[in-house]
Structure 1
Amino acid sequence: MVFFRGQFANVVEWEEFRDDMIFWKWSNREIKKGSKLIIRPGQDAIFLNNGKIEGVFHDDGEYNVESQITPFLSTLKGFKFGFNSGMRVEVLFVNTKEFVVKWGTKNAINIPTPELPGGMPIRANGTFQFKVNDYIALIDKIAGVKNSYLVEDVKIRITAILDQLLMKWISQEGKNMFNLQANSFEIANGIRDDLDMQIIDSGMTITGFTIMSFNYPKEIQEMITKNASHGMIGDLGRYQQVSMTDGIASGKVKGGGAASDMAGMMMGMNMANEMMKNMKQNQEESTSKQETQAVTTNQKKPNFCPNCGEKTSGANFCSNCGQKLV
């Protein structure tokens, strides 16, 4: 009899578990007398009867359905397992972890900007995080008609509206189109709030949204890099010298040819000019300093000795008493 009875018992568990699966439904089967419920870490088990929640079990472990589960079900707590009859319910297993998803724009987003009449094509990439937070909404909107739900399903839904949200938040007033990374935190926060409003009615919430980088067209990126180089170096003359030096060092201007000779001559002339400028400047500064000192010295000499009153005639010492005059 024990052997026969064991044929009716079953194990209620997440049989098709995947890390990228949000929920999985154990359905269309009857829970027999002596059945076991297995809940693994990171899972919740929801007992459903006619689409309504009977009970939610959070703690992982192995449970006897008859003695440890049924007494806690809302409307089925008085259910008695018969020899040939079982309990017809559905069990929805939910993955409780926070999912991290990578995203990236498939096509460039054309952002309107006064600097470029045709708009600026921009690509972006990053990550977003989400998790299930409302089981009633999840069952009502999704689990009621699906037996499983994957992260890819959420990603498709998010990326379908992401381009529009990027355009919305990038186009906000005051954004520097040529340095969007500086505003990435503000843009990401705005997108996160909008995305959360899109999926909250499905029982999920966006817990984070980040923008790792903005990518410009090659020509725009080269212009941004060149402008940054000009700003770092300070003046066009030094920028040309550095560019020439980089060209020789990188092999783009190779030695032994006319180009290298010309580059060497230009660098030599520039260096000679700089040296002459520095020497002339130093000489002018030295002459000016000497003249200033001479004027200052002459102004300090008295016409008459302060000690004896003898006329000094521009001397450093008094000819009568020897008093120092400077």
Structure 2
Amino acid sequence: MGLFSNQFSNVVEWNEFREDMIFYKWSNQEIKKGSRLIIRPGQDAIFLYNGKIEGIFTDEGDYDIESQIIPFLSTLKGFKFGFNSGIRAEVLFINTKEFLVRWGTGNPINIPTPQLPGGMPIRSNGTFSFKINDYIKLIDKIAGVKSSYFVEDVKLRITSILDQLLMKWIVKEGKDMFNLQSMSFDIAKGIKDDLDMQLFDSGMTITSFQIMSFNYPESVQKMIEKNASHSMIGNMNTYQQASMVDGISSGAVGGGGVASDMAGMMMGMNMANQMMQNINQASNTNQATPTQTSSGAATSSSSSEKPNFCPNCGQKTGEGNFCSNCGHKLN
């Protein structure tokens, strides 16, 4: 009897385990007397009988099905193995980990914008994570008719509607179409909520959704960079001076050596002189404020006044235009 019972013994386990497999259904054999159930870390095992959940086992380990599993099954707790009889039950193994998926738009998304009549073609990429959170819904919608399910299956389902959701939330949140990255958090949050609703009936939930970047056409990207550089420079004079400094620092003058160093020094001195002249001109303009005379003519407040003391010898001045002591001209 023992010889024949060993012949019918088998092991119920996840035979085809893969990191990207969401679930696996063991249903190709009959569970015999002496069979064992093996649950590995990161797995849950669900016993199904006639499509109905009989029991869910979440603790990893090696179990004797007759003595440790059957007593906890809803319908089969009184089942007794016979010499040549077994259970035609199914065991669904669930991968309990959180799956991380990278996504990217296959084609540019034309976002409506007043600046471009045909729309702004934008690409985007990022990541999203999901996991199984409702076994009953999973079995009802997917596992009831499939023997396995992969991350790629979920990715295809997500990316099929992702372009529409990107357009929806970019238009909704978009105030500056040329600076979408600053709004990526709010856009991603809206998309995550929508995707979570899409997977809700399948027993899965979106745990995170991230937008890594928005990519513009090359011509638009160059325009954005040029506009940003002009904004930082402020005015063209400073822009030209900064360009000269960049040329000197990068060795663009001459072919190197003494000639290049001298040319760089000359350019630097000329720039310094020009900057000093600009500062002096601005200072003189601010100081030479015109005053109004009694006749209405604008004159300089300092052009007609004589000093009370001679600036050359210190002698007190009189009514004349020259110092009576040293002859220095007073105005």
Which TM-score bucket, shorter chain as reference? 0.7 to 0.9
1:103 counterpart SS class? strand
Shift in CA distance, 191/224, structure 1 to aligned 2, threshold 3 Å: same
Tell whether the 8 Å contact from 1:128 to 1:206 is kept in structure 2 after alignment: yes
Aligned match of 2:117: 117
Q: CA deviation at 1:9?
A: 0.8
- Mapped to 1, the partners of 2:267 and 2:120 lie a distance apart of 39
Q: CA deviation at 1:256?
A: 5.2
1:172 counterpart SS class? helix
Tell whether the 8 Å contact from 2:105 to 2:163 is kept in structure 1 after alignment: yes
Aligned match of 1:163: 163
Aligned residue identity for 1:182: S
Aligned match of 1:279: 280
Aligned match of 2:148: 148
- Compute the RMSD of aligned alpha carbons: 2.8
- Mapped to 2, the partners of 1:286 and 1:177 lie a distance apart of 46
1:67 counterpart SS class? helix
Q: CA deviation at 1:272?
A: 3.4
Q: CA deviation at 1:277?
A: 1.9
Tell whether the 8 Å contact from 1:244 to 1:263 is kept in structure 2 after alignment: no
Aligned match of 1:304: none
| 1:219-298 → structure 2 map (5 Å cutoff) | 219-250=219-250, 253-255=252-254, 271-282=272-283
TM-score by length of 2: 0.80
- Mapped to 2, the partners of 1:263 and 1:218 lie a distance apart of 34
Tell whether the 8 Å contact from 2:134 to 2:203 is kept in structure 1 after alignment: yes
Tell whether the 8 Å contact from 2:109 to 2:163 is kept in structure 1 after alignment: yes
Shift in CA distance, 207/173, structure 1 to aligned 2, threshold 3 Å: closer
Shift in CA distance, 201/9, structure 1 to aligned 2, threshold 3 Å: same
Shift in CA distance, 246/172, structure 1 to aligned 2, threshold 3 Å: same
- Mapped to 2, the partners of 1:165 and 1:250 lie a distance apart of 46
Q: Which is worse superposed, 2-11 or 66-75?
A: 2-11
Aligned residue identity for 1:224: I
Does 2:46 align with 1:59?
no
Does 2:134 align with 1:134?
yes
Shift in CA distance, 51/123, structure 1 to aligned 2, threshold 3 Å: same
1:88 counterpart SS class? coil
Aligned residue identity for 1:153: D
Tell whether the 8 Å contact from 2:165 to 2:191 is kept in structure 1 after alignment: yes
- Mapped to 1, the partners of 2:124 and 2:49 lie a distance apart of 45
- Mapped to 1, the partners of 2:62 and 2:255 lie a distance apart of 81
Aligned residue identity for 2:108: A
1:101 counterpart SS class? strand
1:226 counterpart SS class? helix
Q: CA deviation at 1:225?
A: 1.6
- Count the aligned residue pairs: 291
| 1:190-229 → structure 2 map (5 Å cutoff) | 190-229=190-229
Shift in CA distance, 10/136, structure 1 to aligned 2, threshold 3 Å: same
- Mapped to 2, the partners of 1:144 and 1:269 lie a distance apart of 82
1:170-212 per-position Cα deviation (integer Å, ceiling 9, x unaligned):
0115531111111101000110111111111111111110101
Tell whether the 8 Å contact from 1:104 to 1:124 is kept in structure 2 after alignment: yes
1:91-149 per-position Cα deviation (integer Å, ceiling 9, x unaligned):
00000111111111111111110111121111111100100111111111111111110
Shift in CA distance, 107/47, structure 1 to aligned 2, threshold 3 Å: same
- Mapped to 2, the partners of 1:9 and 1:173 lie a distance apart of 61
- Mapped to 2, the partners of 1:183 and 1:154 lie a distance apart of 26
| 1:15-164 → structure 2 map (5 Å cutoff) | 15-164=15-164
Tell whether the 8 Å contact from 2:102 to 2:126 is kept in structure 1 after alignment: yes
Unaligned runs of 5+ in 2: 290-300, 309-317, 319-331
Shift in CA distance, 168/264, structure 1 to aligned 2, threshold 3 Å: farther
- Mapped to 2, the partners of 1:202 and 1:173 lie a distance apart of 29
Q: CA deviation at 1:283?
A: 5.5
Tell whether the 8 Å contact from 2:99 to 2:131 is kept in structure 1 after alignment: yes
Aligned match of 1:319: none
- Mapped to 1, the partners of 2:178 and 2:241 lie a distance apart of 26
